[in-house]
């Protein structure tokens, strides 16, 4: 089987899928940690705000889901059909296609957690503003969603499905 920089097509595809998942998972874990720290502080003072705080704390978790979706797409579009990866350059292209999700979700998850801290502070002072408070971390989410869309479009193009 052909190799590129010592890796076969399936090796490159697996590497890309893993990087996408790892980037999203780290971003989500760090982001949720920031938001949960603020959320638990607020809940220690007023446990009745749990329902309003939970969505704010959970929001950075979506980046991990986007990394997971990317890894699953690589698996089903390419790794279940080994003949599509006989050429190592295709595997390398798949790896490159996974990079938007890997990096955008890593950083957007962290920064969404930081935005969520501010939103949690708003809810602590004015619980009735919880709907508006969600808008700020949702703005950061936009870039994670765009990275997922871009990665999906590139993967579909590589797979000849567009």
Q: Domain spans of the chain?
A: 8-158
**Does the 8-158 domain belong in CATH 1.20.120.610?**
yes
Report the Cα 99 to chain-centroid distance in Å: 11
Band of residue 162 on the pLDDT scale cut at 50, 70, 90? low
Determine contact, residues 26/106, Cβ cutoff 8 Å.
yes
Strands, E assignment, 2-50: 3-4, 7-8
- Specify the residue for token string 């971003």: 27
Q: How far apart are CA 122 and CA 133, in angstroms?
A: 7
Q: Which residue has the higher pLDDT, 10 or 73?
A: 73
User: Is the whole model's pTM more than 0.85, yes or no?
Assistant: yes
Mean pLDDT for all residues in the chain: 91
pLDDT in tens, 17-73: 999 999 999 999 999 999 999 999 999 999 999 999 999 999 999 999 999 999 999
- The token duo for 99 is 């990079």
Length of the chain: 162
Residues 6+ apart with CB under 8 A from 99: 16, 19, 20
């Amino acid at each position: 089987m052909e190799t590129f920089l010592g890796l076969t097509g399936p090796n490159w595809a697996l590497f890309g899928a893993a990087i996408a998942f790892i980037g999203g998972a780290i971003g989500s874990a760090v982001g949720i940690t920031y938001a949960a720290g603020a959320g638990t502080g607020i809940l220690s003072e007023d446990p009745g705000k749990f329902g309003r705080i939970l969505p704010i704390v959970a929001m950075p978790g979506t980046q991990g889901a986007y990394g997971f979706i990317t890894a699953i797409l690589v698996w089903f579009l390419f790794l279940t059909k080994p003949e599509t990866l006989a050429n190592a350059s295709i595997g390398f292209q798949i790896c490159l296609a996974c990079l938007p999700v890997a990096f955008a979700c890593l950083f957007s998850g962290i920064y969404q957690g930081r935005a969520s801290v501010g939103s949690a502070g708003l809810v602590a002072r004015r619980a009735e503003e919880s709907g508006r408070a969600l808008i700020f971390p949702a703005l950061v989410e936009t870039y994670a969603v765009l990275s997922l869309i871009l990665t999906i479009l590139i993967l579909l193009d590589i797979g000849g499905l567009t």
